[in-house]
Amino acid sequence: MLDINLLRTNPDLVRENIRKKFQDEKLPLVDEVIALDRENRETMTRADSLRAQRKQISKQIGALMGQGKKDEAEAAKSQVNALAEELSRLEAREEELAAEIRRRMLVIPNIIDPSVPIGRNDSENVEVQRFGEPVVPDFEIPYHVDIMERLGGIDLDSARKTSGNGFYYLIGDIARLHSAILTYGRDFMIDRGFTYVIPPFMIHGNVVNGVMSFAEMENMMYKIEGEDLYLIGTSEHSMIGKFIDTILDEDTLPRTLTSYSPCFRKEVGAHGIEERGVYRIHQFEKQEMIVVCKPEDSPMWYDRLWQNTVDFFRTLDIPVRTLECCSGDLADLKVKSVDVEAWSPRQQKYFEVGSCSNLGDAQARRLQIRIKGKDGRKYLAHTLNNTCVAPPRMLIAFLENNLQADGRIRIPEALRVYMGGKEYIG
């Protein structure tokens, strides 16, 4: 959510940012907010004036009664009552206007970083850098589910009976591999100085509204019927929510946290749920990174976060690339974002396995996450998040890049300690 002062002082900047994100349907919101804000400030000014009048007249009532001027005192009381009635109406109007302003402000997108490439959708994202040499072996790479089934490692049919499409049973060495990757991801991030956290897997609605846009919430979040609780789509939601209504001393920053959680997503939209496969599913697990820091430090942390993911995948011998998200592909709260994509030898192209985002002060403004400086001044924090690893999607890249000609799966050295010393499975 933007600072209301930005719309007051530079509405053209806000309009231009909306155009850069190709959301012209939101342009009227700027004028609506400005008009509502003007009325709200006029209402508050009038209310302050009435309070001052009421206070002054109330003081006069006692003096008039002391002087025996009962009729004048009664007239003054009537005047105070009239002021109170008008003041009550104004205060109710203030609440209405504040709610209307906030409702519109939550929809206006955050100001994107000047370095973000301009484009309508993910087809116009820009490749930044490649890490590792993509290899296409001289033998056929089967579909990832076929690889898992040959190893007795997945049961989609049973999951479809119990839960529907978008769910799975992982079995045996594939299930162990799944857990090993997550455990390695946890230790990898701890070794890089991050504090390990297991957060709540359900959060209140006000936290949901604080960490994501309404459109994202509608397409992603599962609500618990009859309760003010939502299943998290990523641990970022509850991890950033951890700091709601807090004031952090500068000396305690940055807060660098790595969290494990299951993730639950509706996956409503253009992509939908796969009938057969584990690329886009309703339930998965993830090791996440979260940073809460001073505004001037967020660009540095942004670069460090995506580099962590690149380094993690390279230790598992998986070639990756980074892809700068264009303006039209950025979620409304994001200032800047980069996707990390892994190489698929079967498809001979890269596919997304993680996303790193700098949200500026957008989440902090919604959730009131503030920093107290050494001079006592309070200001909003910046928040960032990034995926370290999210199997089973990451399993697709792992299996394809480590598949051997004889059908076995090679276990890279970094992962062997988590797999009981095995060098191969299958």
pLDDT tens digit sequence for 96-132: 999 999 999 999 999 999 999 999 999 999 999 999 9
How confident is the model at residue 312, as a pLDDT? 98
**C-alpha span between 211 and 383 (Å, rounded):** 10
Kindly write down the DSSP assignment for every residue of 408-425, as one continuous string. Answer: -EE--HHHHGGGTT-SEE
Residue 302's pLDDT band, with cuts at 50, 70 and 90, is very high
Percentage of residues in the chain having pLDDT higher than 70:
96
300: Cβ contacts below 8 Å, ≥ 6 apart: none
How confident is the model at residue 55, as a pLDDT? 80
Highest mean pLDDT among 77-86, 226-235, 266-275: 226-235
Whether the pLDDT of residue 270 is over 60: the answer is no
**C-alpha span between 189 and 183 (Å, rounded):** 10
Q: What is the mean pLDDT of residues 65-84?
A: 75
**C-alpha span between 101 and 11 (Å, rounded):** 15
Number of Cβ within a 10 Å radius of residue 344: 20
Q: What is the mean pLDDT of residues 270-296?
A: 86
Helix spans in 246-324 (H) = 298-315
* pTM as predicted: 0.90
How confident is the model at residue 75, as a pLDDT? 77
Which of 92-106, 161-175, 263-277 has the weakest average pLDDT?
Answer: 263-277
**C-alpha span between 416 and 397 (Å, rounded):** 17
How confident is the model at residue 77, as a pLDDT? 76
**C-alpha span between 306 and 354 (Å, rounded):** 9
Whether the pLDDT of residue 328 is over 60: the answer is yes
| Residue 3, amino acid | D
Best CA proximity match to 322, nearest among 305, 334, 335: 305
Residue 190's pLDDT band, with cuts at 50, 70 and 90, is very high
Q: What is the mean pLDDT of residues 296-304?
A: 98
Structural contact between residues 257 and 239, judged by C-beta atoms closer than 8 angstroms: yes
Residue 82's pLDDT band, with cuts at 50, 70 and 90, is confident
Residue 275's pLDDT band, with cuts at 50, 70 and 90, is low
The H or E element containing residue 113 is none
Torsion angle of the four alpha carbons 26, 32, 38, 40, in this order, in degrees rounded to the nearest 10? -100
Structural domains of the chain ordered from first start: 4-105 (1.10.287.40), 122-425 (3.30.930.10)
For helices 172-191 and 298-315, angle between their N-to-C axes, nearest 10 degrees: 140
Q: What is the mean pLDDT of residues 23-45?
A: 96
pLDDT tens digit sequence for 343-383: 999 999 999 999 999 999 999 999 999 999 999 999 999 99
How confident is the model at residue 182, as a pLDDT? 97
Q: What is the mean pLDDT of residues 275-289?
A: 90
